[in-house]
A and B are shown apart, each in its own frame.
Chain A
Amino acid sequence: MDFKPKIIGFLCNWCSYAGADLAGVSRIQYPPNIRIIRLMCSGRVEPYFIFEALKSGIDGVIIMGCHPGECHYMTGNYEAEMKYQLLKSLLTYVDLDNRISLEWVSASEGIRFAEVVTNFTNSIQKLGPSPLKKIDKDSELLFNLNALQIAANDYRLRALIGRKRKILDEGNVYNKKYPKEKFEDLQETAIYDEYQKNRIILYLKKENLSVKDLSERLSIAPNKILEYIVDLRGEGLIDLKDIQELTPYYTAKQEA
């Protein structure tokens, strides 16, 4: 059977949704795969929505908002872009980053709306069905995606993104302005660390493991694993379970 992508579009009410309406009024034809969810602003798009969509087997997700400087709520689209970049970075770890897209479409760009949707649909068509469509509950992909979702939902990354603009524009608590590239490096590292830490937690929820076990499962050097373990214990998310033949075994607290 030929593949018919299912695509969700999150559209802001003021520009992109109006642009979609204009495409309709102008009878511009485009592929029928997209299902639109209307939100007031692209800034309302929770990274978590996209994880939910991908996990349930949606083939592609596109977010659309007003052009920079034109958001009905002034800066909602900049917020959307920051969250989108976070998502993009997270999803590269599971190779799903090319299934999401962010585009600016104004209320007068009916033609552009149709083009954007057509191009995105074609690109998803080429990629083929989402690997999450027919997947068993224990697959590694789903496991990793869950770890990423928790990382995206968690306090650390959200607070980092939440403070990003302020840190870049006004400087940190020491009034030191951060160069953008430096912040981006820091953000990438934070994303990576949070991802790996959440993978550790998920593994330890399933069974008790040693540093060596974890090192093999995550393909990460033992000394790095040890660092994470120290952090996670400090945060009270995991515990030492027991020691067998001098090797410590860890477990995750269920509420973690």
Chain B
Amino acid sequence: MDEIRIGVFVCHCGTNIAGFVDIASVEEYVKTLPHVVFTQRNLYTCSETGLLAIKNGIEENKLNRVIVAACTPRTHEPLFRGICSEMGLNPYFFEFVNIREQCSWVHQKDREKATLKARDLIRMGVARAALLEPLEKFQIDVKPSTLIIGGGISGMTAASNLANQGFEAIIVEKDIELGGQLRHHHKLYPGNMDSQEILSIIEEILKNPKIIVHTSSKIKDIDGYIGNFDITILKDEEEIKFGVGTIIVATGTDLLKPKGLYNYDGKKVITQKELELLFKKDQFNFKNIVMIQCVGSRNKERPYCSSICCMTAMKNARYIKEKNPDAEIIILNRDIYTSGTYQETYYRDARKMGIIFSRYNESKLPKVSEESVIYFNESMKEEIEIKYDLVVLSTPLISYGESKELSKMLKVPIDEFGFFLEAHVKLRPVDFSNDGIFVCGTCKWPANVPESISQGYAAASRVTRIISKDSFTVEGATAWIDQDKCVTCEICLKKCAYKAITRDEEERVIVRTVLCKGCGVCATTCPQHAIEIRHYTDNQVESQITALLEGDLVE
């Protein structure tokens, strides 16, 4: 093996680091460490000057390992790895030591100890760097097409957006036609638009040569990985197979049917959805209406707020009042959720129109009898009876039962209520942590139409990042199984959350590198210690541990 030649670049970060750590003494110390052939201090390592200094350092000193002791790898590692690559050095020969976020910034009152800590951390980094191995990131081909599961407004938005950019989209919809929940709506808040107007997108979709629509179809099997998913669907009992590069999950939600609640019968006690159907068919003919909010939501079984029901109830109450100002409408609620300026105004106007809002408490639920609703008025602290000719129940959006099966096929997580879980609520709101699979619309969490549409656009734009290129680069720091040690017990196979471990044709247990994320769970589980995690090998981690203690001898 070639001689190990480590270069260490210690960053001042202006005064961010140098103000609290004695950088000069750190550099002197680092010079004494094994394999370190070059050290340098830089005012700002990530600046043009700093990067040039690294390049020159590599070239002039024939460095084959580069360490930057500076800020955090979470923001700057790609930059420095890139510089190494440019200089013909494998990027996995780069090692980052964090002496800013995890040292100078958090020990500002103790220069001496911060300096000692920086020394320790760099010593650990040097030990690890000596054991680093070159790894290849490799490229896989990407099919420029997308499967969209669910043809509601969010899925259709994504499809049309992708098609308009020239990419193929394939919608698989279980129902007999596209449209999702919107097909059953009457008017839409905000803005009182007719739902049919938005649904005109269906025609566009059906005409678009870039979009293939499979209705009355369900997903039977999903195999493969980013760039090359193999899909099997069942369309009217017939199996159809095709390949796509990416997947968007847009399966929306069901609406809770309040069976057994508040004497629900679908005639005199109905849901908001059924009320809207009456409007659409022009069959609405009631005068005394009681609406009950949070029916089956915000309780023990379903603690979440369905977020659309307050506005939906108001939308429908206002419609009734506009048509017939003499109608008496009371909305029994636990709270009214109207976030933002538009919704709050909508609520105030509803009150001005004479719609009554009255509060009940979860511990004393209203009771619906043949002719009247009896409830305990929270403000007046007394029981009140209201005669009705129609009761409308606001029930929550709930996940479809088959989401669970789908989540297993896709290997993506769902939460306890069956909603799909994104990779990160804030940072990656429409991604799954599995590469190449995205999510939008209400299948992720209750949302209204504008939100569902924005998410559809978001998912489409995340997809184009991948399918607009011919290939995708896969992480090189993955698991590897030593066949001499493996006894094919399959314990690891069941542990891998990404199903990256399988049997090959020769019945050996192997890692499918494109699927592996390098989490390391398989390695710590294997009873035979047969699995190595590249870039985080046992030896590399151990070297950091032992290097820490060696320090005591020096001090």
Contact = CB atoms under 8 A, between A and B. Distances in A.
B491 A36 contact: no
Given A8-B545, A36-B98, A49-B545, A41 B117 contact: no
A58 B413 contact: no
Contacts of B542: 49, 52
A153 interface: yes
Nearest to A12: B519
Interface string B98-136: 101111011111100110110011001000000000000
Contact of B102 (A20, A40, A73, A83): A20
A217 interface: no
* Residue of A30, A36, A47 with highest tally of chain B CB at under 10 A: A36
A158 B549 contact: no
A56 interface: yes
Interface string B455-494: 0000000000000000000000100000000000101101
Interface string A23-36: 11101111010011
Interface of A: 6, 8, 13, 17-18, 20-21, 23-25, 27-30, 32, 35-41, 43-49, 52-53, 56-58, 69, 72-76, 79, 83, 114, 153-156, 158-159, 161-163, 166
B544 interface: yes
21 contacts: A8-B548, A17-B74, A18-B74, A21-B72, A21-B74, A29-B106, A30-B106, A35-B548, A37-B124, A38-B98, A40-B520, A44-B521, A44-B533, A47-B524, A73-B498, A74-B413, A114-B106, A155-B528, A158-B526, A162-B526, A163-B491
A39 B536 CA distance: 7
By Cβ-Cβ distance, the 5 closest A-B pairs, closest first, are A44-B520, A24-B101, A73-B519, A43-B521, A158-B527
Nearest to B128: A37
Nearest to B434: A74
B518 interface: yes
Contacts of B526: 158, 162
Contacts of B113: 32
Contact of A37 (B109, B116, B538, B544): B544
B175 to A, nearest CB: 30
Contacts of A45: 524
Interface of B: 72-74, 98, 100-103, 105-110, 113-114, 116-117, 120-121, 124, 413, 415, 423, 433, 477, 489, 491-492, 494-495, 497-498, 517-521, 523-529, 533, 536, 538, 541-542, 544-546, 548-549, 552
A40 B529 contact: no
A6 B124 CA distance: 14
B64 to A, nearest CB: 22
A24 B104 CA distance: 8
B549 A21 contact: no
A64 to B, nearest CB: 12
B495 to A, nearest CB: 7
B519 A37 contact: no
B106 A40 contact: no
A230 to B, nearest CB: 23
A36 B118 CA distance: 11
Contacts of B521: 41, 43-44, 73, 75-76, 79
Contacts of A20: 101-102
A39 B541 contact: yes
Contact of A39 (B106, B415, B520, B545): B520
Contact of A35 (B120, B491, B492): B120
Contacts of A69: 415
A53 B536 contact: no
Given A23-B106, A74-B413, 17 more contacts: A23-B101, A24-B72, A24-B106, A29-B106, A30-B107, A32-B117, A36-B102, A37-B545, A39-B520, A40-B477, A40-B520, A43-B519, A43-B521, A44-B523, A44-B533, A58-B545, A162-B491
Contact of B525 (A39, A73, A162): A162
Nearest to A43: B521
B549 A56 contact: yes
Contacts of A29: 106-109
A53 B491 contact: no
